[in-house]
Amino acid sequence: MADVAVIGAGFIGLSCAHWLLRDGHRVTLFDAQGPGEGASYGNAGTFANYACIPVNNPDVFRNLPRFLFSPTSPLRIRWRYLPKLAPWLARFLLNATPRRYEHSAAALAALLSRAFEGYREMLAMDALAGFVREGECLYLYSGAASFKGAQASLALRRSLGVAFETLERDGIRVLEPNLAPIFEHGTLFTGSWFLSDPRGFLQALDASMTRRGLHHERVAIDRIEPTRNGVRLVDTSGRAFDTARAIVCAGALSGRFARQCGDAVPLDTERGYHVRFPDTSSLISRPCGWAERGFYMTPMTGGIRAAGTVELGGFGPERNADLLKLLRTSAREALPALTQPDTDWLGFRPSLPDGLPVIGPSRRSPHVVYAFGHQHLGVTLGGVTGSVVADLVTGRASPVDLEPYSPRRF
Ligand SMILES: Cc1cc2nc3c(=O)[nH]c(=O)nc-3n(C[C@H](O)[C@H](O)[C@H](O)COP(=O)(O)OP(=O)(O)OC[C@H]3O[C@@H](n4cnc5c(N)ncnc54)[C@H](O)[C@@H]3O)c2cc1C
């Protein structure tokens, strides 16, 4: 079996490592940080196997004035970043036409339908099962107009196999009595679940794989150089590592590696935020999303995490005070018993303009395989992505048609 280097210790990299180890490969994980420190740290933790509707759906055009000008809009653009963002943004909007959006939704649904299978074995491990919570995700609408506007996408979800129940005000109250009575409609996504601590889950997975032979190199990779029979990785101090295969799972920072391997992949980031309200987890029993405000409240270890929003604006560390305030005030509007938040967080979703990940071999070498760009769904799609990557490396036919996720589609 081959020596395989996995670059990146987030949901995607660790899931790839799991499936590759299972096939008997010798796996080394390269990351200067510990497991689950990137976008995989601060997300909403939902196993959102229902979320096959890309952010850039045709409603984007209808909602554009609200997105751009309303103080409660969960979508912001850092205008200084616009010149750099413009080509990505143009493609993002072009992909919001009905035909392209339906293509992306069907391709996402194909992966999502296998998402649980991708995690089944991991969830059977005692060390990981303790992080899994059964509560199904509840998506809420405070306005009748937005619920009406969501009907087309709900019908598309249903036609793609997503199961959900529709609830009205009283039904919502029965499920979550501490929510303010401001939600007129809701959808409860059958069979979804969530994690009480996404990073804790990954740390436990990493520890279990370390016992099974996973090797670590705590370095940042600078270059990937395909060689005749394999791949050379060079870290930021100039040290070289030769390996038979390399899997690129560096999240939103994967684009440079793709360019080094001959693929101009338009990867950018959708910045997202969370705020944590300590010691409040008993207020709700499942992730509750607020459609109009673009975030989830998830009861996690240590408190409720209000996570979401989208800010198009590159990789700078500056935090958007307006979006953080929106998360704080919206969460308190929805759940009046919430206390003061104690921490906030900014993370970088790896996003491509068609809302689909990149999974497949590089142009320059079959020994380099990409697995990045999981946008809002990396927690959910980690397991299935790992299984597909292991199929590619081991030379098995994949049960998933990988064409929609090809790096050459751009
Ligand atoms: C606010 C928010 C809420 C979210 N909620 C959900 C949710 O509820 N459900 C869901 O499914 N998804 C959710 N997501 C999306 C999800 O978090 C991401 O899609 C996922 O974490 C991406 O995982 P990843 O492994 O690709 O990247 P990351 O987790 O970012 O990991 C990439 C790793 O690569 C490493 N790396 C980068 N460059 C190098 C280098 N040069 N050398 C070595 N290593 C490198 C980094 O250190 C990092 O550890 C959310 C995201 C955000 C921001």
Which pTM value belongs to this model? 0.98
Q: How far, in Å, from the CA of 254 to the mean position of ligand 1?
A: 11
Q: Is 374 helix (H, G, I), strand (E, B) or coil?
A: coil
Q: What's the gap in Å between 375 CA and the centre of ligand 1?
A: 8
Give the span between the Cα atoms of 381 and 47, in whole angstroms: 8
pLDDT in tens, the chain (410 residues): 779 999 999 999 999 999 999 999 999 999 999 999 999 999 999 999 999 999 888 888 888 888 888 999 999 999 999 999 999 999 999 999 999 999 999 999 999 999 999 999 999 999 999 999 999 999 999 999 999 999 999 999 999 999 999 999 999 999 999 999 999 999 999 999 999 999 999 999 999 999 999 999 999 999 999 999 999 999 999 999 999 999 999 999 999 999 999 999 999 999 999 999 999 999 999 999 999 999 999 999 999 999 999 999 999 999 999 999 999 999 999 999 998 999 999 999 999 999 999 999 999 999 999 999 999 999 999 999 999 999 999 999 999 999 999 999 99
Q: Which candidate, 44, 131, 11, places its Cα nearest to that of 305?
A: 44
How far, in Å, CA of 256 to CA of 261, rounded?
A: 9
Tell me which of 326, 376, 380, 389 to substitute to probe ligand 1's pocket, judged by most ligand atoms within 8 Å of the beta carbon: 376
CA–CA distance, 303 with 301 (Å, rounded to integer)? 6
CB 103 within 8 A of CB 364: no
pLDDT at 210: 98
Residue 372 alpha carbon, nearest atom of ligand 1:
26
CA-nearest residue for atom 27, ligand 1, is 251
Cα 257 to averaged position of ligand 1 atoms, centre (Å): 16
In DSSP terms, 296 is beta-bridged to 289, 307
End-to-end CA distance of the chain: 33
Atom of ligand 1 nearest to the CA of 298: 8
Strand-pair partners of 166: 187
DSSP symbol at 210: H
- Residue holding tokens 């990988």? 402
Return the amino acid letter for 206. Answer: D
Q: Whose CA is nearest to atom 35 of ligand 1?
A: 8
Residue owning the nearest CA to atom 52 of ligand 1: 43
Which ligand 1 atom is the nearest neighbour of the CA of 33?
47
